[in-house]
């Protein structure tokens, strides 16, 4: 467990996770596709957005309270869905959900989680839970998963649509991390160099399966068989007709994750979608993909207030979150930082990350002359050339 007094930001948590995780496991979280241009651009784009503060304001009393998907949230952030988290730290999904519940923000469970829909709800009965759906070829699987999430009281269904083909992540290929980690002498040495992870994950907890798939695939009994089933049985062709079919199954908020185009956002709305998550999968899929923040103004201008617009990919600071809010996002999903926080310190690590983000958002709010989240406006930021939607008010 790190000394949290020395952990001041998400990058500190990343470094702490690197000391805990074997290098191939760390690289799986940390890396991106091909030359990692999209990965780097997701961060670099924030430097192209700068603040215009108002200083003549009384900001002695401030609040981060807001609404996400129409429900109260203590801050404009949530934890994004991530598969395989329990490979990084034992019961990582549970740690994240508990930390989110304590902080008053939502948590989104992945299809590829190491805990079932029902078990997570039973463990955190008061949490705001969302569920991320990867769609499978067999519609009975999709219907079964959706019905279970509905019955367990999950508020929102988030359909991920940006993984039509397998990505080329070269760090993973060099490390021999494909379906599972290859047992090469180098990898054995790397794993043994992290004895605490070996004890926590391999010995005490064991590598997880994907229990949300087990009712439909009896062959899913361990991490390898789960990954194999997931890859071979996913539906890689997902279109608007499929979205309409999911809409008929699901009674709650329906989001589509992986959107970067305003025309797609409009079509999704026409098909019954309640919102979109602007995302390039953290730079892990399509190389040279535009950063979601770049596309945010154009998407917001296209859908107005008719849809919930959330965003992820590249967010590391509270200032990053406020920039997205100024450009029209309703909230921000945190991915890699939460994974590193769970690896570095379990539930306490995730809670520390959320606390850091809240503190930075609060400070930025005050510096901008705002006392509430809904006071953040486009006119609080300046952006460089190259952003779509620059003709929008305040840009």
Joined together, the tokens standing for residue 298 give 């154009």
Picking from 87-101, 210-224, 240-254, 290-304, which range would have the lowest pLDDT averaged per residue? 210-224
Joined together, the tokens standing for residue 47 give 């430097």
Joined together, the tokens standing for residue 78 give 């949530």
Annotated binding-site residues read 81-83, 110, 132, 134, 160, 169, 257, 279, 281, 284, 312-316, 335-336
Q: Is the pLDDT of residue 230 over 90?
A: no
Annotated binding-site residues for glyoxylate read 132, 134, 169, 281, 284
Q: Is 310 within 8 Å of 277 (Cβ atoms)?
A: yes
Q: How far is CA 187 from the centre of its chain?
A: 28
Domain hosting residue 249, numbered range: 4-383
Question: What share of the chain in percent tops pLDDT 90?
Answer: 84
Annotated binding-site residues for FMN read 81-83, 110, 160, 257, 279, 312-316, 335-336
Q: Is the pLDDT of residue 395 over 60?
A: no
Backbone torsion region of residue 287, taken as left when φ is above 0, otherwise alpha when ψ lies between -120 and 50, otherwise beta: beta
Predicted confidence at residue 390, as pLDDT, reads 53
Average pLDDT over the chain reads 94
The answer to whether residue 340 sits within a structural domain is: yes
Output the domain CATH number for residue 50. Answer: 3.20.20.70
Picking from 48-52, 83-87, 191-195, 371-375, which range would have the lowest pLDDT averaged per residue? 83-87
Among residues 198, 211, 383, the alpha carbon closest in space to that of 295 is found at 383
Looking at 242, 281, 308, 352, which residue is catalytic?
281
Structurally, the chain folds into a number of domains equal to 1
pLDDT band at 102 (very low <50, low <70, confident <90, very high): very high
The answer to whether residue 191 sits within a structural domain is: yes
Predicted confidence at residue 219, as pLDDT, reads 82
Q: Is 249 within 8 Å of 143 (Cβ atoms)?
A: yes
The answer to whether residue 139 sits within a structural domain is: yes
Q: Is 121 within 8 Å of 172 (Cβ atoms)?
A: no
The answer to whether residue 8 sits within a structural domain is: yes
Q: Is the pLDDT of residue 207 over 90?
A: no
**Is residue 8 annotated as part of the catalytic site, yes or no?**
no
Angle formed by the axes of helices 10-20 and 23-30, nearest 10°: 150
The answer to whether residue 117 sits within a structural domain is: yes
Q: Which DSSP string corresponds to 277-290?
A: EE--GGGTSSTTPP
What is the C-alpha separation between 315 and 328, in angstroms, rounded?
15
Helix, strand, coil percentages for the chain (3-state, nearest 5) = 50, 15, 40
Find all residues with CB under 8 Å of 239, minimum gap 6, and list them: none
Predicted confidence at residue 153, as pLDDT, reads 98
Joined together, the tokens standing for residue 292 give 């979601």
The answer to whether residue 211 sits within a structural domain is: yes
Q: Is 260 within 8 Å of 292 (Cβ atoms)?
A: yes
The answer to whether residue 393 sits within a structural domain is: no
Joined together, the tokens standing for residue 205 give 């907890």
Task: Give the DSSP H/E element, type plus range, for residue 126.
Answer: none
Cα–Cα separations (whole angstroms), residue 75 to 65, 68, 97: 5, 9, 15
Any idea what DSSP says for residue 205?
I
């Amino acid at each position: 467990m790190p000394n949290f007094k020395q952990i001041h930001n998400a990058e500190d948590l990343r470094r702490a996770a690197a000391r805990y995780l074997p290098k191939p496991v760390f690289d799986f979280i940390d890396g991106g596709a091909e030359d990692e241009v999209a990965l780097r651009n997701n961060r670099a784009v924030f430097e192209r957005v700068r603040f215009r503060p108002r200083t003549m304001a009384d900001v002695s009393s401030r609040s981060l309270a807001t609404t996400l998907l129409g429900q109260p949230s203590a801050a404009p952030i949530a934890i994004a869905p991530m598969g395989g988290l329990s490979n990084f730290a034992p019961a990582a999904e549970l740690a994240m959900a508990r930390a989110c519940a304590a902080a008053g923000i939502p948590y989104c469970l992945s299809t590829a989680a190491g805990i079932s829909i029902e078990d997570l709800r039973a463990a955190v009965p008061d949490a705001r839970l969302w569920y991320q759906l990867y769609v499978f070829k067999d519609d009975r699987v999709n219907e079964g998963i959706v019905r279970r999430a509905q019955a367990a009281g999950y508020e929102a269904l988030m359909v991920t649509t940006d993984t039509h083909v397998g990505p080329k992540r070269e760090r993973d290929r060099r490390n021999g991390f494909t379906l599972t980690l290859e047992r090469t002498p180098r990898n054995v040495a790397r794993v043994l160099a992290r004895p605490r992870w070996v004890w926590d994950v391999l010995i005490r907890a064991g590598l997880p399966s994907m229990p949300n798939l087990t009712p439909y695939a009896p062959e899913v009994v361990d991490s390898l068989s789960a990954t194999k089933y997931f890859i071979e049985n996913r539906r890689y062709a997902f279109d608007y007709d499929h979205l309409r079919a999911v809409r008929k199954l699901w009674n709650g908020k329906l989001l589509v994750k992986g959107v970067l185009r305003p025309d797609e956002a409009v079509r999704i709305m026409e098909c019954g979608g309640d919102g979109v998550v602007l995302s390039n999968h953290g730079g892990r899929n399509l190389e040279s993909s535009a950063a979601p923040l770049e596309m945010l103004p154009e998407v917001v201008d296209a859908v107005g207030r008719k849809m919930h617009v959330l965003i992820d990919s590249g967010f590391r600071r509270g200032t990053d979150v406020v920039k997205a809010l100024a450009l029209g996002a309703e909230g921000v999903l945190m991915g890699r930082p939460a994974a590193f926080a769970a690896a570095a310190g379990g539930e306490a690590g995730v809670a520390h990350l959320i606390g850091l983000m809240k503190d930075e958002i609060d400070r930025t709010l005050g510096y901008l002359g705002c006392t509430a989240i809904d006071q953040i406006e486009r006119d609080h930021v300046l952006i460089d050339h190259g952003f779509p939607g620059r003709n929008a008010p305040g840009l």
